[in-house]
Amino acid sequence: MATLGQRSDVGEFRRRYRWLVLFILSIFSLFVVRLFLMQVVHGDIHEAQARRNIIGETRLATTRGVIRDAQGKVLASNRPSYNVYVVPKQLDFEKTWPLVVGYMSLDQQSAKDIEAKIRELALNERRAEQQALIRVDVDRDIMATLETHRDELPGVRVLPAPVRAYPYGELGAHMLGYMREVDAEILAERPEGGYRAGDRLGAVGVERRWESYLKGQRGFRRFIMKKTRSERIEDLEDRYLGEGHLQEPAPGRDISLTVDIELEKSAEQAMRGHLAGAVVIVDVRTGRVLAALSKPSFNPNVVSGGSGKAAVQEAFNRYFSDPLKPTLDRTISAAYPPGSTYKPFTALSGLEAGLIQPDGEVDCRGGWEYGKRYFRCTGVHRGVNLHEALVQSCNSYFYELGTRIQIDQLAELGSRYGFGAGTGVGVNPEARGRMPTRAWYTRRYKGAFRGGFTLLAAIGQGATTVNVLQLALAYGALANGGTLYRPQVVRSIETSDGTVVQDFPPRVRRMVEVDQPKLDLVRAAMVDVVLDKKGTAHAGRIEGVDLAGKTGTAQVSQLAPRGSDQANVEYFNRDHAWFAGFAPAQSPEVAVIVLVEHGGGGGKNAVPVAMRIVRDWQRMKAERLNRPATPDAKKKKAGSN
């Protein structure tokens, strides 16, 4: 064949072969580099991904710690909420649904509403297959009935979900707090918290402050996803799961509070008839908070989700539109003018500065003229000395002192007793209150400082504000001879079997330098506030209740002038009624502060509340002395008081 013999010139190609070889070498070299990066340099990343592909993880739920009061009574615990679900597609409206309505004893209207909802979902292709929640937190009986008849009810399921339960409901809710669903911010910013979408965490109060102790540690179980031949699973488990494939969940720590829920209850009962206010009772020997009541309150069971998400929303809408602000913790998060309850501190300032003598008299003619203004008194007391001025709450006496004392002297003594600064209680944000100084006024009011400011500060009005807990601790210091304690809400932390992990001893915030004889003078006056016939608290006293203290009527608005009939004044302009005191009058144990918001005169409105609380406290104390351990507190020691 001719073509076979033919030779053609291949010389043209010669120079190009080496380029081809170079090209081949460089491409495959790049592949080797790429493989080196993938397999050797970043091999661990890919290995981790490969493990994630085959290893599944089940989360093991933990239980949140229980919160108890000082007597061991459970204030917050966990319970299952039985929720009823329906898969719309599987539900037989003719046969099954009437049974469900019957077992759940639904009334006609809600049965109709729910049926309409399910029928609507059944039309949606995707959601028809999914479980739809039709009823939250049904009774145990209904749950049991539905479970018993499970076989007749295809497409109906009852599933438990853990919810937080507060047996005492609204009582002490501000201090305890509630639970809320974790939000995207926390999920994103605190991955170390271990929260997943849908988890709940403490929102306010102790639940929030002690969240890290209460929440516990979730566990997990890792397993090989069975997508391969089953006989290899065990080998694979050994090879890929190793030791750390199971972590048992650790339950949260239990917390014992210093609060005594019985005392709290008695405070709540004593406050009935008043719209809003606060009661704080602290142990003057330790600074432990025995009761902290803020009124009105909210229902932590509902807002923690126990009745479903719709109920949470509805409750918050209601609370936030309420002018009385039920979610506000009035014991800590709000500051009020202390009014006359501040006078003992003014008196101490005057005595310390040597500006007043115990027996020096001031003639009260129903008020005090200062500059162009006239400062009113509560009455016409004529000649009063310090004792009488405190007992009868004479403003004129303190106005006179106010003309001579520097406002900074008042502020300095006040801050020694903890006013104007946070108490450090830790639960809930604190309104620090204010001890106005000359500098503060200069900043606040451009222009000359006016002496009238000092007169108002002397009677606890003007710019002076305190929070209820601050006042309780300061009165505690008056009562115990000058020891200002840090407030304490949590007594101890325990494991779920009751072993104490951490015990919190009382902490002293400051030893207030005070001359005991001077303090005794003031205390003696506070005893006579109740005992003396002219005392402002005398009318409200209860026989047998051993309580000393000071009343206060704090003016809120210029629209409610002193001495005017409070009933005619619009509610939010009415005066605050105060009583601040301690019991027993001799060798005091507790400080009791009662604030009736817009309650009017302190003697008339706040004193009876305080009297009833202290009466109950005395009764409880006597009972507990006779019966050291209550049945509720088997594993606890008897209360410290």
Query: Which residues bind to other proteins, rule: CB under 8 A?
Result: 3-4, 6-10, 12-14, 16-17, 19-21, 24-25, 27-28, 30-32, 34-36, 38-40, 42-43, 45-47, 49-51, 53-54, 225, 227-229, 232, 236, 240
Q: The dihedral of CA 381, 382, 387, 390: what is its sign?
A: positive
CB count within 10 Å of CB 180 equals 18
Q: Which is nearer to other proteins, 19 or 626 (by Cβ)? A: 19
Considering the complex, what minimum distance in angstroms separates the CB of residue 595 from other proteins?
A: 59
Of 229 and 634, CB closest to other proteins: 229
Closest CA to 241 of 102, 57, 7: 57
When the beta carbons of 234 and 369 are compared against other proteins, the nearer one is 234
Q: Residue 211 in contact with residue 182, Cβ under 8 Å?
A: no
Select 240 or 370, whichever has its Cβ closest to other proteins.
240
Run of H or E including 67:
strand 67-68
| Closest CB to other proteins among residues 36, 445 | 36
- The CB-of-1 to other proteins minimum distance in angstroms stands at 8
- Least separation, in Å, of the C-beta of 9 and other proteins? 7
Exposed/middle/buried for residue 177 (C-beta within 10 Å: 0-12, 13-18, 19+): buried
CB of 632 to other proteins, least distance (A): 55
Q: Cβ 4 to other proteins, closest distance in Å?
A: 5
Answer left, alpha or beta for residue 172, where phi above 0 means left and psi between -120 and 50 means alpha. Answer: left
Closer CB to other proteins, 25 or 501, in the complex: 25
Query: Taking the CB of residue 254, how many other CB atoms lie within 10 A of it?
Result: 25
Closest to 562 in 3D by CA, of 571, 554, 550? 554
The least distance separating other proteins from the CB of residue 300, rounded to whole angstroms, comes to 41
Q: Which residues of 493-502 are buried (b: 16+ CB within 10 A; e: fewer)?
A: bbeeeeeeee
Give me the least distance between CB of 503 and other proteins, in Å please: 51
> For residues 526 and 591, what is the distance between their CA atoms, to the nearest angstrom?
13
CB-based contact 68:261 (threshold 8 Å): no
Q: Terminal CA-to-CA distance of the chain, rounded, Å?
A: 123
Q: Based on CB atoms, which residue is closest to other proteins, 41 or 61?
A: 41
CB atoms within 10 A of CB 370: 17
Cβ nearer to other proteins, comparing 28 with 571: 28
CA distances from 558 to 208, 244, 275, 462, 572 (A): 39, 70, 22, 11, 12
**Minimum Å distance from CB 258 to other proteins?**
53
